[in-house]
Amino acid sequence: MKLLEFVNYEVRPTAEALLIRPIRKLYNSDRSKQKERFFQQISYLFFMVDPRSTYSYIVNPEERAEQIILQEGLPSDFKPSDDLKEAMEIYGKHTVTSSTKLLESTRVAVDALSQELLTTQAKLRERTDKGAAVYKMNDIMASLERVLKLIPQLQDLERKVESEIKDTTRARGTENSIYEDGV
């Protein structure tokens, strides 16, 4: 689902987004002309929930929220309202496919593997009662080789999910990428 569109050098919510009651409620509750609060909330929603988000590699929701608030210039005291939470839940349901579920599960597994590899140095120092290494360098190297094979597979899955989302959006209506409309 496309939330925002770029028209005549302005960012606007799409008609499709405003059909969703909680998103429409967020839009209508911001009485300002520029809708700055609405755009803050929608950007938070997108970065937290959309599988195409540049923050989706952060699998822990609290850490992801913290990084979004910090890096996207949201107020440091930003907290999602109940309406925003409801909009995030509904938007999440609209973007779930078998592929996005698989991608999310893969990201969780990759994060766990990454955390495991971060402890490699300490593992190399661990010894048994007899002084032998607990973890063998060959085992760690084999793990690293498997990780290197996993990276292109994860990247391919991410591209397929993005393509699937674009195809789904186009099936509902036309969608132009930036520069496709002659701008």
pLDDT of residue 176: 47
Please list the alpha-helical segments (H only) found in the chain. Answer: 15-18, 21-29, 36-49, 61-71, 82-95, 98-118, 120-125, 137-172
Domain boundary among 65, 95, 125: 95
Q: Which of 95, 128, 146 is the last residue of a domain?
A: 95
Instruction: Look at residues 95, 121, 142 and tell me which one is the last residue of a structural domain.
Output: 95
Instruction: Record the pTM.
Output: 0.69
Is residue 30 domain-shared with residue 115, that is, in the same domain? no
Q: Which residues pair with 133 in a beta bridge?
A: 127
Rounded to an integer, what distance in angstroms lies between the CA atom of residue 34 and that of residue 11? 10
Chain segment 14-55, per-residue pLDDT in tens? 888 899 899 999 999 999 999 999 999 999 999 999 888 889
